[in-house]
Amino acid sequence: MSLHVDAVARSVVDLIGNTPIIRLRSVEKRAGGDVEIWAKCEFENPGGSVKDRAARQMMVDAIADGRLAGKRLIDSTSGNTGVAYSMIGAALGVPVTLVMPANVSVARKNITLAYGTELVFSSEMEGSDGALVLARAMAEADPDRYFYPNQYANPSNPKAHYLGTGEEILRSLGDRITHFATGIGTTGTIMGTGRRLKEHHRRVEVVAIEPDDAFHGLEGLKHLGSSMVPPIWQPEGIVDRVLPIATDVAWEAAEALCRDEGVFVGHSAGANVAGACEVARSAGSGAVVVTVLPDRGDRYFAPMKWEKQYVW
C-alpha cells in the first residue's frame, strides 16, 4: 500500500508538517509482549528534519509582528535548525546568519552554505552552549542588523509542535496512544507535543530522553545536568520522567532501524527508538508508544574525495 497526497503548494514552506507515522515491528519484538511502537517520520519534512517545524513557526510569527522586517536572522544551531532556517529563508527572501560549533558535521555545513547562508563558527570545545553565547552577543552588538529568534527561549518553538506534531499524532492514533517518548535538545518538540497530548482526555505518559553522560556522542541532544537549560524547558505538568540513554545503545538502535526496517536515520533517532523500546518493555501489554525520528542518517556522512570544493 502506498500513500498519495494530491496537493498543490505555494512554496516549499507549505510542505512542512503532516509527516507520516510508521509502525516499528522489529522494535516491538525487542520490547516483548503485546505492545505497539510508532515513529513520526520527521525526516520527511522538506528540510530533512523535525526542526523545519519550529523554524517555520518562529520565522512566520516574527514576519507577522514585524520583528524580522528588514533584518537578517541570526541564531545558534547544531545543524538541523540551521538547515531549516536556511531553506525557509531562501524561500521567503530572508537573509540568514548561523553560529554553529566548528565540529558540526560537514554535511550540515555544506547544506546551509548551498542556500546562501552566512556561517560563523564557535569553539568546538564549548558545544551548542558556546554557539548560543556567541550568537546572542552578535545580535546584541548590532540590533538594527540582526533578528535573534533564540530557538531555546522562543515560545514559537513549542507552539509549532503543539499546533502540528501533537495534533497530527492524535489524528493518527487518537485514544490508543499511551506513551510519548522523545529526546531533548532545545526541548521544543517534547514541550509542545507533550502539552497537546496532555490536553487529550486520555492519560498519556510523556517521557523525555536524554544522553546518559555529559560527554556523549548524540548530536542534537542535550544532557541537561551539564548544559545551559533552555528557558522553554518547563516540564512541570507535562514531562512525567526523564530517561537516560547511552550513546552506544542509541547508535546500535539507529543501525538496527536501517538493517531491520529500511529506515536510515540519525543517532538522535536511535536514542528515541531505544528509549521508546524501553518504555514499552516496562509498560507491558497494551502499551502504544509514539516517538520521533528527527532526521535522516545521510546528514552525518563525511565528505567524499570527489566533492569538488575540497582539496585533498
pLDDT in tens, 137-184: 999 999 999 999 998 999 999 999 999 999 999 999 999 999 999 999
Pairing state between β 21-23 and 36-41: antiparallel
Q: Cβ of 103: how many Cβ atoms within 10 Å?
A: 14
CATH of domain 51-147: 3.40.50.1100
Residue 306's pLDDT is what?
A: 35
Whole-angstrom distance, CA of residue 285 vs CA of residue 70: 55
Residue 78's pLDDT is what?
A: 66
Residue 304 has pLDDT above 60, yes or no: no
Cell of 186: 532545545
b/e burial code for range 242-276 (CB count within 10 A of at least 16 → b): ebbbbbebbbebbebbeeebebbbbbbbbbbbbbb
Residue 107's pLDDT is what?
A: 75
Q: Would you place residue 79 in the very low, low, confident or very high pLDDT band (cuts 50, 70, 90)?
A: confident
- Residue 215 or 208, more confident: 208
Class of domain 12-47+157-299: alpha beta
Residue 236's pLDDT is what?
A: 97
Encode pLDDT of 265-297 as tens digits.
999 999 999 999 999 999 999 999 999 999 998
Encode pLDDT of 37-49 as tens digits.
999 999 999 999 9
Q: Is the dihedral of CA 111, 214, 126, 312 positive or negative?
A: negative
Residue 77's pLDDT is what?
A: 81
Residue 298 has pLDDT above 90, yes or no: no
Q: Where are the domains of the chain?
A: 12-47+157-299, 51-147
Contact indicator for 3, 20 with CB cutoff of 8 Å: yes
